[in-house]
Amino acid sequence: MKLAAREVARYCAAPDPQAAGLLIYGADPMRVAHRRQQAVAALIGPEGEGEMRLTRIAGADLRRDPAALMDAIKAQGFFPGARVVLVEDAGDGQAEAIAAALDAWRPGDAQIVVTAGQLKPASKLRKLFEGHQSARAAAIYDDPPGREEIQAELVRAGLSGASGEALDALFALGRTLEPGDFRQTLEKLALYKLDDPAPLSAGEVSRLAPASTEAEADAVIEAAAEAREGEIGPLIQRLAAQGVTPVRLSIAAGRHFRALYRAASDPEGPGKGIARLRPPVWGPRRDRMERQARAWGAERLQAALEVLAETDRTLRSANQTAPQMALMERTLLRLAHLRGRR
**pLDDT under 70: residue ranges of the chain:** 142-144, 175-178, 180, 210-215, 282-283, 318-322, 341-342
List the beta bridge partners of residue 22: 113, 136
Domain range for residue 69?
Answer: 5-140
For the chain, the domain total comes to: 3
Which CATH number belongs to the domain containing residue 222 in this structure? 1.20.272.10
User: Which pLDDT belongs to residue 340?
Assistant: 74
> Residues, the chain, total?
342
> Is the entire prediction scored with pTM above 0.75?
no
Residues 136 and 26 in one domain: yes
User: Which pLDDT belongs to residue 46?
Assistant: 86
- How far apart are the C-alpha atoms of 262 and 273, rounded to whole Å? 6
- How far apart are the C-alpha atoms of 171 and 145, rounded to whole Å? 7
List the beta bridge partners of residue 24: 115, 138
Which CATH number belongs to the domain containing residue 117 in this structure? 3.40.50.300
Residues 302 and 229 in one domain: yes
Average pLDDT, the chain: 87
Q: Which of 166, 181, 208 finishes a domain?
A: 208
Burial of 225 (0-12, 13-18, 19+ CB in 10 A): buried
Q: Which of 208, 224, 247 finishes a domain?
A: 208
Identify whether the C-beta of residue 147 lies closer than 8 Å to the C-beta of residue 167.
Answer: yes
- How far apart are the C-alpha atoms of 38 and 27, rounded to whole Å? 18
Residues 196 and 298 in one domain: no
Identify whether the C-beta of residue 52 lies closer than 8 Å to the C-beta of residue 77.
Answer: yes
User: Which pLDDT belongs to residue 307?
Assistant: 94
Residues 118 and 219 in one domain: no
- How far apart are the C-alpha atoms of 252 and 48, rounded to whole Å? 45
Residues 190 and 229 in one domain: no
Identify whether the C-beta of residue 115 lies closer than 8 Å to the C-beta of residue 24.
Answer: yes
User: Which pLDDT belongs to residue 153?
Assistant: 79
143: Cβ contacts below 8 Å, ≥ 6 apart: 5
- How far apart are the C-alpha atoms of 22 and 12, rounded to whole Å? 9
Which of 51, 54, 26, 50 has the alpha carbon at shortest distance from 39? 54
Question: Helical H runs in the chain?
Answer: 5-13, 29-44, 59-64, 67-74, 95-104, 124-131, 147-157, 164-174, 179-192, 202-208, 213-225, 229-241, 246-264, 270-275, 283-315, 324-340
Q: Which of 192, 208, 224 finishes a domain?
A: 208
